[in-house]
């Protein structure tokens, strides 16, 4: 998704591409390296595999456009390198996507969709719900529905579920295990370093100052925090860098509009989360720390097209009025003569 959606937009706009898949996803990188030369003309598509040295070498070249999907930290490096040659960029980064559950929400539906968004692909989705802000009076009911959804999706033991994955590497596994201490485990919490397994986990009694609230989770852990007003939600959302998505679950339209009007994000969803990149009619991308530029569908075509304005003008009519000298133009002289007493 993150490789070939931009490639499709680039091809649609008439470009050739060099693809640099992430070395973190080693198996996917190898597959891209094998399949692209098999199915695409080498004159229009090439693949460069590798890590930091290869990326650094690529960034030293002069490109017409750079498209990057990844973390804000690496996005800044990409942008700085591109700035040396004034190369435009589209940066699709990440962030802590706040997910708001109002007291008017359909709690069962909200829980199912949030659980789907958080635990699909073991939480490795840039648009996944990062944390939940839930109204105090419905917190317990929401947590109950959330636990039911997790059980329905992955059974008594998610470790043996064919629909539940693993953490991508030991570095991320260790990072996520450290975050488990940020609150009280309501469900999950089991880990297996050998298998890189972390159970789908819900944390409650989470402090806004806890470690898990200081970085993008990007894994199968969902912190749930209590909130008691729309203004408190707005303050919480705006206290952090703009995220890729703000998700509001509510049946009260005035609550939805107030939160969306008073916050900033690359995208937003109402009674939904995570899946907005799949709606090709919606431009997708971040703002501020979560990125810049938009793609998907028409937006992708426009992002990867250099719009060139060309003016055609007839040479049959060429009035002298546009040309100097202006102080005493022939037309002006005629007008003055006609107005003279």
Whether this model's pTM surpasses 0.85: yes
Do 257 and 142 share a structural domain? yes
Does 74 reside within a domain? yes
- Boundaries of domain holding 194: 98-278
81 and 205 belong to one structural domain: no
Query: d(Cα 190, Cα 109) in Å, to the nearest integer?
Result: 26
Question: Is 190 in the same domain as 227?
Answer: yes
Same structural domain for residues 268 and 168? Answer: yes
Check: CB of residue 224 under 8 Å from CB of residue 143.
Answer: yes
Q: What is the pLDDT of residue 335?
A: 64
Which pLDDT score is estimated for 327? 75
Give the other-Cβ count within 10 Å of 283's Cβ. Answer: 19
Let me know if residue 162 belongs to a domain. yes
Q: Are residues 70 and 146 in the same domain?
A: no
Residues 55 and 102 in one domain: no
Phi, psi at 88, each rounded to 5°: -65, 150
Tell me: pLDDT of 338 over 90: no
Q: Catalogue the long-range contacts made by 140-146 (C-beta closer than 8 Å, 24 or more residues apart).
A: 141/107, 142/101, 142/107, 142/110, 142/111, 142/224, 143/186, 143/202, 143/204, 143/224, 145/107, 145/108, 145/110, 145/111, 145/112, 146/111, 146/114, 146/115, 146/187, 146/202, 146/222, 146/224
Cα–Cα dist 41/19, whole Å: 13
Q: What is the pLDDT of residue 1?
A: 85
What's the mean per-residue pLDDT of the chain? 95
Total domains present in the chain: 2
Same domain flag for 175 and 206: yes
In this structure, what CATH number is given to the domain that contains residue 139? 3.40.309.10
Q: How confident is the model at residue 332 (pLDDT cuts 50, 70, 90)?
A: low
Residue 20 lies in a domain: yes
Residue 70: CATH number of its domain: 3.40.605.10
Across the range 292-321, mean pLDDT stands at 94
Whole-number percent of the chain with pLDDT over 70: 96
> In terms of domains, do 155 and 48 share one?
no
**Surface-to-core class of residue 137, CB atoms within 10 Å of its CB (0-12 exposed, 13-18 middle, 19+ buried):** exposed
Residue 127 lies in a domain: yes
Residue 319 counted as domain residue? no
pLDDT digits (tens, 9 = 90+) for 206-258: 999 999 999 999 999 999 999 999 999 999 999 999 999 999 999 999 999 99
Q: Which residues are catalytic?
A: 92, 126
**Residue 331 pLDDT:** 63
DSSP per-residue codes, 303-336: HTS---------SS---GGGSSP-TT-HHHHHHH
Find how far residue 180's CA is from the centre of its chain: 24
Does residue 46 share a domain with residue 154?
A: no
Q: Please state the rounded mean pLDDT for residues 27-55.
A: 96
273-282: per-residue pLDDT in tens? 999 999 989 9
């Amino acid at each position: 998704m993150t490789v070939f959606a931009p490639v499709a937009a680039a091809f649609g706009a008439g470009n050739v591409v060099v693809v640099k898949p992430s070395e973190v996803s080693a198996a996917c990188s190898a597959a891209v390296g094998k399949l692209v030369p098999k199915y695409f003309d080498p004159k229009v598509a090439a693949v460069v595999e590798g890590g930091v040295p290869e990326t650094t070498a690529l960034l030293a070249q002069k490109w017409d456009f750079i498209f990057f999907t990844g973390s804000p930290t690496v996005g800044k490096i990409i942008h700085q390198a591109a700035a040396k040659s004034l190369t435009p960029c589209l940066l699709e980064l990440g962030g802590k996507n706040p997910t708001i559950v109002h007291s008017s929400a359909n709690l069962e539906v909200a829980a199912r969709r949030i659980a789907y968004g958080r635990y699909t692909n073991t939480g490795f989705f840039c648009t996944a719900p990062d944390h939940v802000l839930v109204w105090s009076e419905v917190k317990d009911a929401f947590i109950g529905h959330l636990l039911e959804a997790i059980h329905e999706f992955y059974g008594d033991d998610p470790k043996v579920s064919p629909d539940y994955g693993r953490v991508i590497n030991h570095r991320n596994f260790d990072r996520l295990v450290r975050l488990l201490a940020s609150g009280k485990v309501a469900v999950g919490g089991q880990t297996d370093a050998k298998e890189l397994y972390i159970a789908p986990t819900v944390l409650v009694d989470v402090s806004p100052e806890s470690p898990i609230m200081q970085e993008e989770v990007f894994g199968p852990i969902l912190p749930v925090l209590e909130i008691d007003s729309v203004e408190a939600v707005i303050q919480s959302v705006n206290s952090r860098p703009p995220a890729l998505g703000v998700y509001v679950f509510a049946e009260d339209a005035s609550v939805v509009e107030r939160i969306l009007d008073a916050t900033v994000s690359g995208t937003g969803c109402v009674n939904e989360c995570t899946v907005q990149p799949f709606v090709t009619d919606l431009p997708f991308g971040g703002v501020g720390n979560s990125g810049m530029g938009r793609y998907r569908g028409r937006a992708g075509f426009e992002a990867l097209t250099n719009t060139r304005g060309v003016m055609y003008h007839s040479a049959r009519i060429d009035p002298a009025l546009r040309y100097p000298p202006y102080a005493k133009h022939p037309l002006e002289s005629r007008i003055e003569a006609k107005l003279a007493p």
